[in-house]
Structure 1
């Protein structure tokens, strides 16, 4: 039977590292506690828990409004309670559309797109589609922003990716113009340079984290940088930088223009310089150089 539903996936990011660091018993209990938390939030917002798949939860809601409110509550609750204690984070994707229900499970393009959005999300991020965004009331649309458009396997044309801003400081960001957020030329490699050291982002190493935290790929010492400041990722044949900081990430493009990202993502091209919490010129030897290869 076909229904209109908002399908949501919530994926626990970092559980693999937790198993390695804490051992199977402790890590498994932490994941179980996290999933129980997500189930409780789902039910509290009128949703239905469909199933859990490893460390991922699948839920269904009658409306986009229920789904986004549940997603916001999941991130907020997760950060303050079980996830924060365990040192793991959450990525969420949801999409509203027609689904086929069979034996209590849901199938179809809506489910596939919701799952794909979750894969595209960074830790602590909620992603949805333009179609779902347009089904939201205006007060909730005001808490969202457009990121970029991208091709999704199994879909004709590109899907416009919308981010739901669940943290208070995210609401202070500015949406970047479309011509900065999308670069059509494919990229598969990038070099990150910092204080004489070089790291690669490519198909073998699709993400590099930057921050003061000792577990970051690129560990920096800038006083203005956050512990988890930014990530550089290979996604859909594009190199993307995503700000996750308190003070923002300054990106100087090849044309000399400098952009400030606040919980935003930007598709990179060519050679760019990055300031972590401070303008590029003011960053001195704390600048990060990123070179995107075609």
Structure 2
């Protein structure tokens, strides 16, 4: 029987399982992942939703209301956070790599034989590619159906190009209940100075632009709709995203080929595979390969404090003063 209904569609994807198999072995890792997906599924039913199907290390679910879908997403993230903490307490540091990505879209779907089809399904399935670790993304249609107290938990990421869709989708990100800024600074280098920055400068070839905080988020990608468009076939349409996280800039990889960061001329090279790091000082971002690699475009960045007017050189050539 075919049924047309307005539904909120959720996709969830558990990342970090590959490293878990390597660290714990097949049996222990499979048990941990099965437990994680089971808890994610329980969050769906507890919120009044229906698990449509499981997809490897993730699942697809449907809900009658946006509120139920968002409530399930909150529970899922909390469950995975507790699972990771428990693994750490039991002496399993590999569990720290587990992260959940969630995407929700709203619209009319066709329900056939226990499965769902339609634009909302396609958008949610594609939107999860844009989610970073522990992130929950929703469309404007989902946000509209939320109570104002829940709406306040979401921040606009503006319109983002979604694969398979001619028009970009207005996307919102749920703020984390617990700030992870400190962890990111410890893992990815020294934290930024206590004085908050005013903007960020990006340089790729002759494309030299300064963005203040009001311009964020910044999507780096090949799409002409990207905030910082890099016309290179080796770059994904939406390759990486720069956000403002409380008091610092955060870079999140959205690609399949990865994003790489090097702080300073000879600092440590960081590899972001759907992960994030805090940007500080100046350095280089490699899209699809390490900075300086001839096979991949390199974007030079500098964190700016507009009161500071000391010229900086971000690439070969004459010094450029800050805007």
Q: Please, what TM-score do these two structures have when normalized by structure 2? A: 0.60
Deviations 1:173-219 (A, max 9, x none): x99424662224445469xxxxxxxxxx99884234789xxxxx836
Contact 1:9 1:59 in 2 (8 A): yes
Cα pair 2:15 2:99 within 8 Å, conserved = yes
> 1:50: which partner in 2?
52
Query: 2:269 aligned with 1:218, yes or no?
Result: yes
Q: Does 1:177 align with 2:203?
A: no
Structure 2 unaligned regions, length at least 5: 88-94, 181-197, 199-211, 219-226, 240-252, 285-296, 306-313, 317-323
1:272 equivalenced with 2:274 (yes/no): no
CA distance in 2, matches of 1:105, 1:46: 17
Distance 1:164 1:25, change over 3 A: same
Q: Give runs of aligned pairs for residues 1-294 of structure 1, distance below 5 A.
A: 1-81=3-83, 85=87, 86-87=95-96, 88-169=98-179, 176-178=213-215, 181=218, 182-186=227-231, 188=234, 205-208=257-260, 218=269, 231=272, 242-243=276-277, 249-250=279-280, 270-273=299-302
Matched with 2:309 is: none
Change (3 A) 1:203 1:32: closer
2-side partners of 1:53 and 1:83: how far apart? 25
Task: Tell me the alpha carbon deviations over residues 250-289 of structure 1, each in whole angstroms, 9 at most, x when there is no partner.
Answer: 46699xxxxxxxxxxxxx99421369xxx8xxxxxxxxx8
* Mapped partners of 2:86, 2:53: distance in 1: 23
Larger radius of gyration: 2
| Aligned residue in 1 for 2:189 | none
Q: Which runs of 5 or more structure 1 residues have no equivalent in the other structure?
A: 191-200, 212-216, 220-229, 234-240, 255-267, 280-288
Distance 1:74 1:207, change over 3 A: same
Q: CA RMSD in A?
A: 4.0
CA contact 2:133–2:276 (8 Å) conserved in 1:
no
Distance 1:186 1:126, change over 3 A: farther
1:129-168 deviation line (CA, Å, top 9, x unaligned): 1222222221111100012422222222111221011324
Q: Provide, for residues 73-127 of structure 1, a one-character-per-residue CA deviation record: whole Å limited to 9, x for no partner.
A: 1111210125762331111111111111011111111111111111211111111
Work out the number of aligned pairs and report it: 230
Distance 1:232 1:272, change over 3 A: farther
Aligned equivalents of 1:202, 1:158: Cα separation in 2:
16
In the superposition, relative to structure 1, how do residues 110 and 33 fare at CA in structure 2: closer, same or farther (>3 Å)? same
CA distance in 2, matches of 1:202, 1:124: 13
Provide, for residues 27-80 of structure 1, a one-character-per-residue CA deviation record: whole Å limited to 9, x for no partner: 111111001111111111111111111111111111111111111111112101
Q: Residues 251 and 273 of structure 1 are in contact (CA less than 8 Å); yes or no, is this contact kept in structure 2?
A: yes
